[in-house]
Structure formats: structure tokens, C-alpha cells
Chain A
Amino acid sequence: MIKHYAEDDLLPLSGIQHLAYCERQWALIHVENQWVENLRTAEGRNLHQRADNPFFAETRGVVKTIRSVPLVSKTLGLYGVADVIELQKAPDESTGVKYSIVEYKRGRPKLDDKDEVQLCAQAVCLEEMLEITLDYGYLYYGETKHRQRVEFNNSLRTRVKKLAERMHELFAKGETPPPVKDKRCKNCSLSDICVPKLAKANKKVDKYLSSVIGEMRNE
């Protein structure tokens, strides 16, 4: 049986990209409410401000574009907002409306799958809400000014489901996973708060204190 989350238990969909990147980053933002804006995140916010106008809709030819569309999935237990959804009417009106979902990103395509995961989670929401099926969506990257098509295949859908489950598991525990110091930290806007160095510092406090006190004993 598929689990259905209650409204109170829903978590922000935007967190899935953080979780996919680093569990600690997700926990710092969503469990500890720490958020630090840097140049990258500020630019991202600006980009979204333009894309995010819920009262803006335009029709070009057969494509109608709507923005800032509220989304929810009771099976994933996530809620959020889609940047852009495009509705395309078939010319002969026989096959109904075709939906595609577009997510705007500031930078360029990433090496990891966090953008794909976020887009797919949004697609699952839309599928549930409209009782439709989406085969693919698009990621638009500000730096390359290009759209990238993302297939919502089974492996991506399974990954989204697993991440959503993990997110609820971590949130219920209310714990922040320990730091992992690796190359991801270099591009992380939260590294100042995370202090990835502490990954190796766990046993250092005792040593540090005994060096302070040891010096006093020699008086």
C-alpha cells in the first residue's frame, strides 16, 4: 500500500535538491533553519523573482505559459512551487492538453543529479494533482541559456521516492547528520555554518583542553 502523508507532515519540495547534494546541508537549512545567502544564491533568487509571477500568463501560438504553480504530492509528502508549466493544445483538440514542466536554474548543468531530482519531484506532484503522466520535463540554465530535456524514467523516479522517504526519516529524528569534508564543501553556501573541519575534530576537544591544562600544571 502506498503511504499518504497528512497535510501537517508535508515538507518543502525544494529540500530534495539539498538532500540529494548533502544530507547535512539539507538538515542545516530545513532542520536548523540556517540559511546563508551568498552571491550564487542571491543571483538565483533574482532569477526566480522574474520567473515567479503567479499573476502572469502568456500565450504564444498554441503554448500557454503559467508561472509559480503551487504543487503537492501526498505520496512523496512534499509541497512546493513549479517555476513554469507550459500547456500545449493539440491542433485538432483530439488528444487534449499536453503539460510540460520547466525549472529555472541560475548556473549550468551540474555533475550530480540534484536538478533532475527536483524537477522529477515536481512532475510527480503535477501527475498526482491532475491524474496525468509526464514522460519528461526541462531544466533551463541561466548561464548557458539552454533548455535541457530530462526523462522521468524509473530510476529517477525511484531515486526521488527514496530521497523523499529519507527526508521524512531525518526530519522525524530532528538530528543533523555529521559533517563530511569533501570537494562538495567548496561550492556550498553553508560551509561557514557547517564547519566541515569538525568532521575530524570530534576527539580533538579533549586533546585541546589537556594541552591548555597541561601547560598550567607546569607552573
Chain B
Amino acid sequence: MRRLLNVLYVTNPESYLAKDGENLVVRVQDKEVFRTPIHYLEGIVTFGYMGASPALLGMCIEKGVAVSFLTRSGRHQATLHGIPKGNVLLRRKQYRLADSEEDSAKLASMFVIGKLANCRTVLRRFMSDYGAKVQIEEVDLVCKLMAQNVIRLSNEPSLDKVRGIEGESARKYFSVFDNLITCQKPEFYMRGRNRRPPLDNVNALLSFLYSLLLHETRAALQTVGLDPYVGFLHRDRPGRAGLALDLMEEFRPYMADRLALSLINRRQVTGDGFIQKESGGVIMKDTVRKVVIDAWQKRKREEITHPFLEEKIPVGLLPYAQALLLARHLRGDIDGYPPFVWK
């Protein structure tokens, strides 16, 4: 597997990115605050308005470093990258499968199998770690439901059925999610998932982590030459990265939900890092954002044995490994897509 390189997250909206030789330099009010050789990076993600010199952008294109521009709340605006990798034959195959209900359903069920299996493991791990503190029965029931739904998905259901199972499972999963929050109860609770805008601190935290994850899956798909915008589970909608959202499903519980829980339960984030606006929507402060990004970067460096490739890789390479397996399946190297299942 290839090396995990760093993604630089630039959160200070005053930052200006420049090039100096083969280095990236971050300046704030004309003072240099950060410098790194460009070959340590595989991506740059910037939040909020900021400038970058054309020379830097040129170097990023040449070295294959993707530069993503996000709004301060984490909504994706644009990504700059060089000539697309991969070829038109691979993308055509992707489009052909996406046009076929049957093929789409097959792939969609794989992504959802991965997601539900991993949701189940998140719940089970939590029950064994916190046994007495959580309401076992309720959580256990959802675990069983996840298992049943995985079996239903393996019986080749239609695309509508897959979407139905996914929706039902997600609702049930989040209905017991509150049990997994064992600390800071008044400030952090889960009463269902909401996102436009997030209406409580937990949803704000999850939304932010999902936006980091989406950036990674989109970049991974682009790297292997797939079109992140044409999905199988997610229907086409202009501006929506359907395939990136598809691929992201299996990572949500493992990479984002668990991290959100541990940030809360270890009191690394606290209620005063969030602001509820008059409309009810919740915004995260820059300080919390920094804590979350640091934890995310650390998490990405941890190693895991990939269940299908049976090879030790950093967690941060999981989206790439799965994108690669998907591309290899579309090219006919393997006769199916093996979702990432955490055991």
C-alpha cells in the first residue's frame, strides 16, 4: 500500500499560502507561521476565505497535491487538482453500472452492508466496554436489527429496498446513540440526526467529522480515476458527490462516530465550544475545530489490519484502499466489491 501523506488543514481565515522553492509557506499578516516541504503533503484543505499564490497552486498541480476550498462551516466549494487520473474506460464502466438498477443495487448493498456491520460493531464494543452504564437491552436490539438487515441486504434486494433498509437502520442506530454518550449529558445529547443546520452540539460535531471524511473519500476516488459525482446508492443530484457519499457510508461509524464519542466522553470537547444561533442552528468555535482536526489527524495515523487485503495500513488510507478495490472491481480484477468491515 502507498504511504500515508499529510493533509494540511488551514483553519485560520487570515492565512495566505505561498510557495518558496519546494516548500509551502503559510503567512498570517505577512509573518511566516508554518512551512513544510510540499512532498510531505497529499492534500490541503482550507476553511473560510483565504488566498493562495498562483505559484503555489501551480506547484500543487504538478506534485499531485489536491487543494480543497471549504466554507468556514465545512461545506465544499471547490477542489483544484491536475489532469484527472485514470481513464475514460473506467469512468464509462462506472456510468454503465450506475445506469443499471440491478448493478447499482448490488454495489449499493455492499456499501450499506459495510455501514451496518460497522454500526453494529460500534454498539457492541461500547456495550462490552461500558456494560453497566448503558441500557443494554435497547442497544442490543438495534445490534440484532443491524445483523438482520445485513442478511436482508445480502439477498440481492432492489435499489429501493436497499435505500429503505439504509434509512431505517440509520434511524434506529441514532435512536440509541444517546446511550453511548456517558459524559457531559446536559450539553451533549442525540435526539436524532439533523444536519441542515445541525440543531445540537453532537450533530454539529458529527457534521464536521463527516465533512472531513467526505473530503477524503472524494480525493481517494479521484486518485484512482473514478468519478466521485456518479453514485450507486445516492441518486445523481447536481453538485452532490454521490459516489463519495456511497463510499463514505462504511467509514462513518468507524472513523467519525467513534471519534465524536471519544471526544465527548473524554471531555476533549466541551459545551462552551459550541454556539447556538437564534435560528437554532449550532456552530462550532474555531478552538473546537482545531481540537477535532488534531484528533482526526492522530486517528489517521493509527494502524489497522485491512480485513480483505490482510495487510497493515494506517486508518487514513482506508478510503484510498476501498476506492482502489472498487476501481479494480469495475476493471474486472475482482468479481465483487468487498466493503470495509471492522471486527
Do B331 and A209 touch across chains, with their CB atoms under 8 A apart?
no
CB-CB contacts below 8 Å: A190-217 with B: 192-193, 195, 197-198, 201-206, 208-209, 212-213, 216-217
B155 to chain A, nearest CB (A): 10
Mostly helix, strand, loop or mixed at chain B's interface?
A: loop
Do B308 and A204 touch across chains, with their CB atoms under 8 A apart?
yes
With known contacts A217-B151, A219-B144, A212–B113 Cβ distance under 8 A: yes
Residue of B85, B154, B311, B333 contacting most chain A CB atoms (<10 Å): B333
A195 to chain B, nearest CB (A): 6
A31 within 8 Å of B (CB atoms): yes
> How far, in whole Å, are A178 and B328 apart by their CA atoms in the complex?
10
B58 within 8 Å of A (CB atoms): no
Taking CB atoms, residues of chain A closer than 8 Å to B339 are 212
Do B85 and A175 touch across chains, with their CB atoms under 8 A apart?
no
> How far, in whole Å, are A209 and B339 apart by their CA atoms in the complex?
8
Stretch at the interface among A32-40, A52-60, A96-104, A135-143: A32-40
> How far, in whole Å, are A37 and B84 apart by their CA atoms in the complex?
15
B50 within 8 Å of A (CB atoms): no
B242 within 8 Å of A (CB atoms): no
B95 within 8 Å of A (CB atoms): no
> How far, in whole Å, are A203 and B341 apart by their CA atoms in the complex?
18
Do B86 and A216 touch across chains, with their CB atoms under 8 A apart?
no
Do B331 and A176 touch across chains, with their CB atoms under 8 A apart?
yes
B43 within 8 Å of A (CB atoms): no
Number of interface residues of B (CB under 8 A): 39
Do A198 and B117 touch across chains, with their CB atoms under 8 A apart?
no
With known contacts A32-B86, A33-B85, A179–B117 Cβ distance under 8 A: no
A70 within 8 Å of B (CB atoms): no
Do A201 and B117 touch across chains, with their CB atoms under 8 A apart?
no
A96 to chain B, nearest CB (A): 44
The 8 Å CB contact of A208, one of B307, B311, B332, is: B307
Do B333 and A178 touch across chains, with their CB atoms under 8 A apart?
yes
Interface string of B314-326 (1 = CB under 8 A from A): 0000000000110
Taking CB atoms, residues of chain A closer than 8 Å to B87 are 31-33
With known contacts A36-B2, A216-B147, A205–B334 Cβ distance under 8 A: yes
A12 within 8 Å of B (CB atoms): no
A174 within 8 Å of B (CB atoms): yes
With known contacts A212-B117, A216-B147, A33–B2 Cβ distance under 8 A: no
The 8 Å CB contact of B147, one of A176, A201, A205, A219, is: A219
Q: How large is the interface on A (under 10, 10 to 19, 20 to 34, 35 or more residues)?
A: 20 to 34
Residue of B144, B150, B311 contacting most chain A CB atoms (<10 Å): B150
A40 to chain B, nearest CB (A): 15
Task: Output the nearest chain B residue to A24 by Cβ-Cβ distance.
Answer: B333
With known contacts A32-B90, A34-B225, A206–B336 Cβ distance under 8 A: yes
Task: Output the nearest chain A residue to B114 by Cβ-Cβ distance.
Answer: A212
A206 to chain B, nearest CB (A): 7
Taking CB atoms, residues of chain B closer than 8 Å to A212 are 113, 117, 150, 339, 341
Taking CB atoms, residues of chain A closer than 8 Å to B150 are 212-213, 216
B157 within 8 Å of A (CB atoms): no
> How far, in whole Å, are A169 and B206 apart by their CA atoms in the complex?
51
Do A213 and B335 touch across chains, with their CB atoms under 8 A apart?
no
Task: Output the nearest chain B residue to A173 by Cβ-Cβ distance.
Answer: B89
Do B334 and A216 touch across chains, with their CB atoms under 8 A apart?
no
New A-B pairs, 6, CB < 8 Å, besides A32-B331, A208-B338, A219-B147? A31-B87, A32-B86, A176-B331, A179-B333, A201-B333, A205-B308
The residues of A with any CB-CB pair to B shorter than 8 Å are 31-37, 174-176, 178-179, 192-193, 195, 197-198, 201-206, 208-209, 212-213, 216-217, 219
The residues of B with any CB-CB pair to A shorter than 8 Å are 1-2, 64, 84-87, 89-90, 113, 117, 120, 143-144, 147-148, 150-151, 154, 224-225, 307-309, 311, 324-325, 328-329, 331-339, 341
A-B contact pairs, 14 of them (CB 8 A): A32-B225, A32-B331, A197-B311, A198-B328, A202-B335, A205-B329, A205-B336, A205-B337, A205-B338, A209-B154, A209-B338, A213-B150, A213-B154, A216-B148
Closest 7 CB pairs of A and B: A205-B336, A216-B147, A192-B2, A219-B147, A216-B150, A174-B89, A213-B154
